[in-house]
């Protein structure tokens, strides 16, 4: 049984008790109700209350008809208690238009009752009638408006929470797409670029054997990193770091094959795995760029640490060409440095292109 049905049953019980106690009407000395009239008005009010949840407008109209019929023999107190409940339901369950109608009717009925009380019995009767109107009509209306406001606030909060969850989900998906883009770029682009450059060099080389071997090494390295990336994506978490400092060997061999001698000072021994991965990705991108944009120029990689900071510098000859604005390499290097709380700068210095990064351990 719903709360509305319980209220209807309660009103019926109260009406029967008032009937038994001789307090069925407001003015006990003017009780024109026959017994079947009282039973009829109680039964009708009970049915209207039960239907108010489903059809509040119809229930309000039916209750108005009962009030008009009750005006001659009553007014009966149980009926007006039922009116109070139906008006509350009309405010809570009805449309905005019905809600406005209920408010207007409640105010008019309260004021009219107070004026009629003054005319019939003086100021005291007017005040008492007005207070009865406030208790039976305006109070349930006010309570109903409070319930509506609370419900709307809860709906707005729920909608805001849903919108925020959708925005967070969209942001998470966008971040994941960008992360996958960086991983694919750093995993494949460097090796594929080296393979393309080496293929051209092998075509013109007198002894293509070493160049072909470097092509094979970059192909296998790209395949290994792709498999490692697929395994990482298939795992439950993303804490597994697959790239190691030794992953640079094919890129170093590719640079050497096109005449870009690579010298490396320092290593990642003792570094956390995540930091090692970031350093390796930055150096790998720098080597791929040097091989692609400045083949034949030496490349120097310097890795050192002071206290809690790792210093990374990659230098190669600069041909004077401006860096591409459509590629993702430089942006990816900066993002990787920032991912561990560091920063990176890449720009020409004299006749060299220099990549500097400072990364916290």
**Ranges 94-108, 124-138, 250-264, 315-329, most confident:** 94-108
- Could you tell me the pLDDT band of residue 314, with boundaries at 50, 70 and 90? very high
Rounded average pLDDT over 11-16: 85
Q: What CATH number belongs to 164-360?
A: 3.30.565.10
Least Cα distance to 294 among 264, 314, 279 occurs for 314
d(CA 334, CA 347): 12
C-beta separation of 262 from 299 below 8 A:
yes
> Looking at the predicted structure, is the pLDDT value of residue 274 above 70?
yes
Q: What is the pLDDT of residues 41-62, one digit of tens each?
A: 888 889 888 888 888 899 889 9
CA nearest neighbour of 24 among 63, 69, 81: 81
What is the spatial distance between Cα 196 and Cα 202, in angstroms, rounded to a whole number? 10
C-alpha Rg value of the chain to the nearest Å: 42
Query: Where does the chain have alpha helices with state H?
Result: 3-21, 35-52, 56-73, 77-93, 96-121, 123-133, 139-184, 190-204, 209-234, 249-257, 273-293, 329-339
What value does the mean pLDDT take over residues 22-39? 75
Give the rounded percent of residues in the chain with a pLDDT score beyond 90. 15
Contacts of 52 (CB under 8 A, 6+ apart): 4, 59, 60, 85, 86, 89, 90, 93
Six-digit token string for 177: 């797409």
**For the chain, domain boundaries:** 3-162, 164-360
Contact indicator for 79, 71 with CB cutoff of 8 Å: no
Beta strand residue intervals within the chain, DSSP E: 262-265, 299-306, 309-317, 343-349, 352-360
Which has more pLDDT, 191 or 351?
A: 351
Measured CA to CA, the distance from residue 143 to residue 331 in angstroms comes to 59
Q: What is the pTM of this model?
A: 0.53
> What is the distance, to the nearest Å, from the Cα of residue 34 to the centroid of all Cα atoms in its chain?
64
SS (H, E, C) 238-260: CCCCCCCHHHHHHHHHHHHHCCC
> In whole angstroms, how far apart are CA 286 and each of 107, 201, 279?
79, 20, 11
pLDDT, one tens digit per residue, over 75-118 is 888 888 888 988 999 899 888 899 999 899 889 988 988 888 88
| C-alpha 77 chain-centroid distance | 52
- Per-residue pLDDT tens digits for 163-205: 888 888 888 777 777 777 776 666 666 677 777 777 777 776 7
pLDDT in tens, 65-76: 888 888 777 688
Q: What is the mean pLDDT of residues 251-274?
A: 85
Judge whether 259 and 164 are in contact, CB under 8 Å: no
């Amino acid at each position: 049984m719903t709360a509305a049905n319980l209220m209807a049953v309660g009103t019926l019980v109260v009406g029967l008790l008032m009937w038994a106690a001789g307090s069925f009407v407001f003015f006990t000395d003017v009780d024109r109700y026959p017994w079947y009239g009282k039973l009829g008005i109680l039964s009708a009010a009970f049915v209207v209350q039960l239907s108010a949840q489903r059809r509040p407008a119809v229930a309000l109209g039916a209750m108005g008809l009962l009030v008009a019929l009750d005006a001659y023999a009553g007014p009966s107190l149980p009926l007006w208690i039922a009116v109070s409940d139906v008006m509350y339901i009309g405010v809570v369950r009805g449309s905005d238009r019905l809600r406005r109608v209920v408010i207007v009717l409640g105010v008019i009925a309260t004021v009219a009752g107070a004026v009629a009380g003054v005319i019939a019995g003086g100021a005291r009767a007017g005040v008492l009638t007005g207070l009865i109107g406030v208790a039976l009509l305006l109070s349930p209306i006010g309570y109903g408006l409070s319930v509506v406001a609370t419900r709307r606030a809860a709906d707005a909060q729920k909608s805001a929470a849903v919108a925020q969850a959708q925005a967070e989900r969209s942001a998470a998906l966008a971040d994941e797409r960008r992360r996958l883009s960086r991983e694919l770029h750093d995993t494949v682009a460097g090796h594929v670029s080296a393979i393309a450059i080496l293929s051209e060099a092998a075509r013109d080389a007198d002894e293509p054997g070493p160049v072909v071997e470097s092509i094979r090494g970059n192909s296998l390295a790209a395949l290994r990193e792709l498999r490692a990336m697929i395994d990482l994506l298939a795992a439950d978490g993303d804490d597994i770091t697959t790239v190691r400092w030794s992953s640079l060997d094919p890129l170093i061999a590719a640079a050497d094959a096109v005449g870009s001698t690579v010298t490396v000072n320092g290593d990642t021994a003792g570094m956390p795995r995540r930091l090692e991965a970031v350093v390796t990705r930055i150096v790998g991108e720098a080597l791929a760029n040097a091989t692609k944009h400045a083949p034949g120029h030496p490349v120097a990689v310097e890795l050192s640490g002071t206290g809690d900071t790792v210093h990374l510098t990659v230098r190669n000859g600069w041909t004077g060409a401006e860096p591409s604005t459509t590629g993702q390499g430089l942006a990816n290097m900066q993002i990787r440095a920032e991912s561990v709380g560091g920063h990176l700068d890449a720009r020409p210095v004299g006749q060299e292109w220099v990549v500097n990064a400072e990364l916290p351990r």
